[in-house]
Structure 1
Amino acid sequence: MQDVQNRQDKRGIAIQKVGIKEAHLPFLIKAKDGSYQQVLARVRFTVALPSQYKGTHMSRFLEILMPWSRKPLAEPEMEAMLAEALEKLEAHAAEVELSFKYFVDKVAPVSRRTSVLDLDCCFTGRKEKGAPMEFQLGVEVPFTSLCPCSKEISSYGAHNQRSVARIQLRFKDGYDCIYIEDLAELVEKQGSSPIYPLLKREDEKFVTEAAYENPKFVEDILRDTVLALRELEGLGWFSVECENYESIHNHSAYAAHEEEL
């Protein structure tokens, strides 16, 4: 049968990313305690296509992905996956992105009831032929924020809201990436109070009063998060977005920052 994808293209345009998107597969992600958590990942998998080729071989992306969906997955496995793509698709660069829900244990502050909090996470690997993989971790961490201005001007009470920090990290070569659990704990400490899926009355009282005693603007949360991330050993680059879903406005308060270290 004729291989149409390998026919020559004369338009002279190399495509930077071509492949598959919105593929859904299970993966095993290593947890901090050494166990593995099964997640359902949404996958985007691409390679660079030289200008002389008409197309890439789409079926090969899934042929590469399928065996890895049954094995524990971390940075070394992602690099092996990308190396296989470079070889089988005869490309000079490849990228894979896995977006998934990851669950972390949360213990209520007073009742000590245990529940699990879902976090939106993303693993991204980029690799060029002959070079090490560049790995990027993305995590969205929710928390509570309480407005300092509202507390200052009100006779009683202060408006608070659910907030989120969207973190992207890349570590330098030779340094291990932080665990999702540790990053979530580090980031939620920069808000007014952590969020807990399960709270009894005594817990609700505790977190409400804790937030009231720790008011922060979105700018405060962002700056404190930046300072905390700068302390991570081996961190090479990061970006932070903080968003407060305002409870007294029909818009969000927003701040963003990125930094090369």
Structure 2
Amino acid sequence: MHSHENPARSMPDIALHGQPHHAGVLDWVGMDGIAAPVAFDGGDGVQRAPAEVGVFVNLLRPDRRGIHMSRLYLLVDECLSTRTLDAPMLEDLLRACLASQQDLADRARIRLRFDYLLRRPALRSGHSGWRAYPVWLDAHLDGEGFRLELGTEVLYASTCPASAALARQLIQEQFARDFPPGRPLQREAVLAWLGGENGIVATPHAQRSVARIQVRFAEGARLALVALIDRAEQALGTPVQTAVKREDEQAFARANGANLMFCEDAARRLQQALESDAAIVDFRLRLEHQESLHAHDAVAYASKGMSAPDEA
């Protein structure tokens, strides 16, 4: 009889062998761009979505050539395929990642990116449509404990206050020319002038804008994504729309007129809204107004305690 040796027992593992001429401790080693399904409840029920995942550990041992990457992949695959995404699950996953590396690492990190769909109502017409909000989760486990940050982006319109003032000045000047002093004003004539293209000779410039929001929730708090998005859109006042009929477009124009803002104004509005939320212990904001006047963008940052982003 022939003995059947387990082939895995005899396969060489080069990662276990050191390279004395290239020894060194590495900050992070792992995989990025892993495709995986996620089940996530942002506050309105569990949604399933495809995600991109990055998972990493440090490499403490300069005498070891590499880590056990396949173990990380299998743990990510099993956990994300069977459990709903939340803080306890991510902490369990990171602890399992560290345990899988034996004595090679003492820090672990996982990052996930996916889209979350929300149905948003129109402003007046009663219609509604879907918006896809990008979501990212960044979780760390090290000697200081477990930390988790959640991020998303909100799109909104921003109308420039300076441009609005300049447009109003031009309209005043046109009115003075069309209705000179000494001539009686007829209500019907003024109404017709206001409703015609010859009267409203200038409009302020507006642009699509992006609020990038990253928060850290209090320990034990739910990852309340929907509430975070709602709070941000209410603070800004002019979130982009989905289904739009004429009455919705008119209501959106009114909202823009009532919410004139520089990027600094938008940042402060959002800053105050998040500071008033007891469930959010820390945050970092990036507000970008994608200029229609300039070829460059206007950008503002704000934070509570998180370190400023690299690009600031």
Q: Which TM class, normalised by the smaller chain length?
A: over 0.9
Deviations 1:52-107 (A, max 9, x none): 32101221121111112323211111111111101001221100000111112200
More divergent stretch after superposition (233-242 vs 136-145): 233-242
Candidates 129, 133, 144, aligned match of 2:146? 133
Task: Specify the alignment match of 1:151 in structure 2.
Answer: 164
Post-superposition CA distance 1:170-222 (Å, at most 9, x none): 134x3414411111111122324121121111101101111112101100000
In the aligned structure 1, how far is the partner of 2:204 from the partner of 2:272? 26
Mind listing any 5+ residue stretches in structure 2 that lack a counterpart? 1-10, 172-201, 307-312
* Aligned twin of 1:72: 84
2:244 maps to 1:230: no
> Counterpart of 2:214?
168
Q: Whose Rg is larger?
A: 2
Query: Contact 2:151 / 2:215 at 8 angstroms: preserved in 1?
Result: yes
Q: Does 1:97 align with 2:142?
A: no
CA distance, structure 2, for counterparts of residue 24 and residue 54 of structure 1: 26
Contact 1:145 1:192 in 2 (8 A): no
Equivalences, count: 258
Q: Distance in 1 between matches of 2:244 and 2:294?
A: 26
- Aligned twin of 2:18: 8
| Aligned counterpart for 2:134 among listed residues 113, 120, 143 | 120
Helix, strand or coil: the match of 2:34?
strand
**Paired position in structure 1 for 2:7:** none
- Contiguous gaps of at least 5 residues in structure 1: none
| SS of the residue 1:137 aligns to | strand
Contact 1:107–1:115 (8 Å) recurs in 2: yes
Work out whether residues 191 and 216 of structure 1, in 8 Å CA contact, stay in contact via their aligned partners in 2.
no
1:21 is displaced (CA, Å) by: 0.7
Give the TM-score normalised by the residue count of structure 2.
0.78
Amino acid at match of 2:166: I
Pairwise CA RMSD: 1.7
Equivalent residue of 1:72, what SS? Answer: coil
Counting helix residues as a fraction of each chain, which structure ranks higher? 2
TM-superposed deviation, 1:15: 0.7
Deviation at 1:236, TM superposition (A): 3.0
Query: Which residue type is aligned with residue 143 of structure 1?
Result: Y
Displacement after TM superposition at 1:12 (Å): 4.2
Contact 1:175/1:234 (<8 A) preserved: no
TM-score, reference length from structure 1: 0.93
How far is 1:132 from its partner? 3.5
1:259 and 2:304 are equivalent in the alignment: yes
Secondary structure of the structure 2 residue equivalent to 1:54: coil
* More strand per residue: 1
